[in-house]
A and B are shown apart, each in its own frame.
Chain A
């Protein structure tokens, strides 16, 4: 398929064409920037397509601009053709517009809370030297990835399929840092706050909490390296929390404060935002945060993304259709990815790529022969080791989370 590198003139042409409604729906060459119909998924709202464009933040390659301030930028699909997402292409998501440039030498992490035995303050050197480094390859995916594909549409950042990335994270284990502070018997949650802030004093600061057992997991890191380099400013320099398997909302950037507490954290970002209707998904339960009607989002649902095809493209008869992509879930690992060459009538097992650990993207590939001319609908569905499979129909929820609907990619064999 064509490598559609951005250039400003082409972009203008495409956006202009979109505004005039001249695009032939589904045709690869006419796809607008970041459109999702070309992925064989529902399309973004018209206003989103008209507004978004490719734009490079300092230190980043051009990403799909959703909003400038706070900055919300999505990774174009081409970057998911490799299992590891480059730092320069990694998506950017902030809730509040006050994002300081944090100097490594000035940064300090404060650890405390009513369930900590003592208070600690660590600088970056201490975090790197006083704690044994640990490493994990893990997908960071926004809870609202693919929100823009919800039908009916729901308000929020109208993400396409690229509010995610997979990186090798290296840092200190949160459990080791907490052990140094001492965790009391009644500890319930660990509360995390970053250096970012809102322009208005009245706006709730972005503060998240995780259950104490998740905080004490071997895999939960205070990461200072991403793919062997310091974290980009836009991804939380100098350190961010890494909660493998759980959605990006818990991966607090520019981490500044960690508190071990005996009571549930009640701020807006825990009690109102990032919640799902209770019991609608089979993901882990955040027991200390359950309300009668809803519960916090926790781990990711199983999902996949075909990156080698564009819906509407033509393939020469006799030449196989190469179906390739990545699959991931909330940390049980990918058991299998199946590809259907015939709109779901039959399913064939794809070959899985290198196992980079249960939290990582798992690549998959399958060649589908094309003996006859005509239209084909190609589908791919991932299944996790805990037996969870992608859905045929969207599980709607008010805030637009956990979209894992199977792609239906239209290919014409000619």
Chain B
């Protein structure tokens, strides 16, 4: 189901001219990127770069949990730590 949702979101992006430039936003290549890529179901990935670098691991964990608990993001509980680690490592407070 999640894969389907991602495919649907990707298709919507591909057909929306206003968002064409979104394709150029690419997350840093590092361990955990594939899991962080799930964020694209609801928003462009520039949200991540925009919010850097000032959140620590606890801050990024809180953000990911907000996406799950407040916004209903279909992210598996066991993926939260991997995503937060990736974000803290690549977009976190130094």
Interface residues of A (CB under 8 A from B): 45-48, 50-52, 55, 57-58, 65-71, 97, 152-153, 155-158, 198-204, 268, 272
Contact = CB atoms under 8 A, between A and B. Distances in A.
Contacts of A68: 18-19, 21-22, 25, 44, 46
Given A67-B47, A68-B44, A202-B72, A152 B54 contact: yes
Per DSSP, chain A at the interface is loop
A57 B17 CA distance: 9
Nearest to A272: B70
Interface string B44-57: 10110111111100
Contacts of B70: 204, 268, 272
A200 B19 contact: no
Contacts, number: 90
Contacts of A70: 43
B21 A55 contact: yes
A198 B71 CA distance: 9
B72 A67 contact: no
B42 A153 contact: no
Nearest to B5: A200
Contacts of A156: 51
Contacts of B82: none
* Interface residue range, chain B: 20 to 34
Contact of A203 (B49, B54, B71): B71
A58 B17 contact: yes
Closest 9 CB pairs of A and B: A202-B72, A47-B52, A153-B54, A68-B22, A69-B44, A68-B44, A51-B49, A203-B71, A47-B49
Given A71-B18, A272-B70, A45 B54 contact: yes
Contact of B52 (A46, A67, A204): A46
B56 to A, nearest CB: 11
Contacts of A65: 21, 46
Given A68-B22, A70-B43, A200 B52 contact: no
Nearest to A158: B50
A193 B21 CA distance: 29
B37 interface: no
Contact of B71 (A58, A67, A202): A202
B44 A204 contact: no
Nearest to B52: A47
Contacts of B71: 198, 200, 202-204
Nearest to B51: A155
